[in-house]
Structure 1
């Protein structure tokens, strides 16, 4: 195979493999690679675990594996970023997950988690040695962990000699099933009760397309996102938060409590309303129902639930605008999304707010908002090509003055999903 067409992290991992693993290990397969992209989310933040709609796209930043199948069931990994080895066994999973997890560095727990979920699904895995690389910013809101998990799933498929396959037709696992498997792997590995947004975006990516995903039904369809005059600019605050140590899980609990209280209020006021029994998550509640019954909630839960229900509607608004080719109006909705995240859902931070405020004052920026779980990470900006340099200059000048930090800027494009192949 001509490896010159491979993404940079893939070629980096390939080059590192003979340096990282040069002992007398017995290999039983060819050299192979697997990769999966990070993502940006245009709109629909914190709606995924509330059964709502999201509108992400995969980007041209990936996590990658390069390695070979072993003759046993041991997995050995070398992380280029962390410059550490990790080792575990796929024998006895998922029962041995907790015991093995405790001995691993944090990054390797996600890879072990994917193996445990595949084993739980009845798939027999083989061991392998691999180098792990990537250029998805870690903790920056572009889903580096999901990219790692989805890449790991494809690595297991490849290095287990296709004991299972991933694809749409006649495959062992569909992409959306892989997304759900990787979502659960992240939950058990990290303790964060994440939704399926990140993993689904990585699994379903297509060039020049965004994905409208219903996180309840898991139905999805693609929307064009290839305006040649618009850039997707991701700006990293440089602030990192461990979501398990933040209020992420607390927000999820608040949403569940708000759902319960509104469902009870509807049933009490409308005992003949059979549909009220079907309210399981916040996004089952219509804006009209919320307006009628929100006073039954404590003020804090009103704001949490109000944000989620309004954000779900914003996704639908952006979809209609993209279908109409009106990306300028779609951009305006991003500003509204950030205001809700900042004031009602309260998952922003000073640095994120500063970046959005700076972007708001640059002509040619159509919209900006914080992206990801919050408390740090990145903003997403829809920017006319001719305004990208002005935005970069404004951030370089104003952001350090306002926060004492420096931000990094990436220009991304909607890219393809994951893959794997043997190269030698």
Structure 2
């Protein structure tokens, strides 16, 4: 399960300046020396292909980007956890030897819930927690990371910090399951394992393919990286993230959880028609059975199933395109994924998606995350990335001025590069 060595040098993240800011805040909270401060860097992830099929046991693709969550921390002298956020007011305090119980009312989820959820996950897996942390957590540049796995990045950051101060050595696979426990059991989300897998297993220069049925990753190297004429072997593409200004609370969203339910109902009907008693997820349905029996599904279930089976085909083709460095075909597949998300999964950010497709140098675009809020992503030619970002920003502001006004000007469209996996950084 160990990722292969990366094939190049990602754009440096976090920077020395970002690390210094986090360390300074921890010193102010804890009164400790800056040299004692450790920092967890958890990158955000994108999913170029494999939209909405992780919870059905599908095969998905992922890579991290050079933005993410930073958690600076020092060990507590006892079991107390003391935390401050760069985005939210107040200081939260609790103890790692307090028994944490799942949140029953999802409206009560706050920024501190993820820290408590990490303690809950470790407690329920039998790990002995004796020391807490004194910490400061911040999304880089205050980025509104909707659609980029911010919740998984935060959960993993707390897990890695708590494990570090308690001398617990866990594998990435262990932490993937622990983060799933935070999301599913503590917070009540129906998330799959894509987000934590991407954050913990991705490596620069590779596209991670995650089989969500077997929880096994594989890695495909971008062949054009070694041929790149750009400095430090960087790829000939960058990633645009365009934020919509649409926001709502994901756990309350009928959109996401209802579609997960509909996928399972489609699987249940198809499996029943074939005489199978397997658990109702679409990965258990043979593609031949789907083609023969899809006529029995009602309109909504038929759309969900069509998205799953067509997206699985796109992932297979995308693997081949990435391996040979064919960004044109990869981009076409990504855009087709976006269209299927609109037609068959009924995602809502259609206008932003269409603007991205028209931007100069954009090879492909689709939604990032659930597609009901947050952002869209695009793969763009490196030398046209800034031009494309300016175009998207101007066009979206012209069409949706009220939504754009909710987003800080420097965060409306970001130009990103591929990143690396989560890590704990010690003071040198």
Aligned to 2:200: 203
Using the alignment, how far apart are the partners of 2:103 and 2:215 within structure 1? Answer: 33
CA contact 2:106–2:188 (8 Å) conserved in 1: no
Aligned to 1:168: none
CA, structure 1 residues 180+188, in 2 after alignment: closer, same or farther (shift >3 Å)? same
- Deviation at 1:131? 0.9
- Pairs within 5 Å for 1:91-102: 91-93=97-99, 96-98=100-102
Aligned to 1:229: 236
TM-score scaled by length of structure 2: 0.86
Pair 1:380 & 2:377 matched: yes
- Pairs within 5 Å for 1:341-356: 341-346=341-346, 348-349=347-348, 352-356=349-353
1:366 to 363, 368, 380: 363
Pair 1:120 & 2:127 matched: no
CA contact 1:146–1:198 (8 Å) conserved in 2: yes
Aligned to 1:74: 80
Structure 1 unaligned regions, length at least 5: 166-172, 268-275
Pair 1:132 & 2:132 matched: no
- Pairs within 5 Å for 1:86-235: 86-93=92-99, 96-98=100-102, 106-125=110-129, 126-135=131-140, 137-160=143-166, 162=167, 164-165=168-169, 173-225=170-222, 226=225, 228-235=235-242
Q: 1:330 aligns to what SS in structure 2?
A: helix
CA contact 1:65–1:130 (8 Å) conserved in 2: yes
Q: 1:63 aligns to what SS in structure 2?
A: strand
- Deviation at 1:277? 4.2
Q: 1:178 aligns to what SS in structure 2?
A: helix
- Deviation at 1:302? 0.4
Q: 1:309 aligns to what SS in structure 2?
A: helix
Aligned to 2:422: 418
Query: C-alpha deviations, 1:125-173, integer Å up to 9, x for none?
Result: 211211112227334211111111111111011222x1x11xxxxxxx2
- Deviation at 1:292? 0.9
- Deviation at 1:5? 8.3
Q: 1:342 aligns to what SS in structure 2?
A: helix
Pair 1:244 & 2:241 matched: no
TM-score scaled by length of structure 1: 0.87
Q: How many residues align?
A: 395
Aligned to 1:170: none
CA contact 1:47–1:54 (8 Å) conserved in 2: yes
CA, structure 1 residues 102+356, in 2 after alignment: closer, same or farther (shift >3 Å)? closer
User: Aligned-residue CA RMSD in angstroms?
Assistant: 2.5
- Deviation at 1:390? 3.1
CA contact 2:359–2:392 (8 Å) conserved in 1: no
- Deviation at 1:238? 1.9
Aligned to 1:293: 293
Using the alignment, how far apart are the partners of 1:369 and 1:99 within structure 2? Answer: 33
Aligned to 2:232: none
Query: C-alpha deviations, 1:278-312, integer Å up to 9, x for none?
Result: 46410222333212101111111000111112112
Q: 2:112 aligns to what SS in structure 1?
A: helix
CA contact 2:264–2:282 (8 Å) conserved in 1: yes
Pair 1:265 & 2:269 matched: no
- Deviation at 1:9? 4.2
CA contact 1:137–1:144 (8 Å) conserved in 2: no
Structure 2 unaligned regions, length at least 5: 1-11, 229-234
Using the alignment, how far apart are the partners of 1:104 and 1:87 within structure 2? Answer: 17
| Between 405-414 and 335-344, the greater mean CA deviation after superposition | 405-414
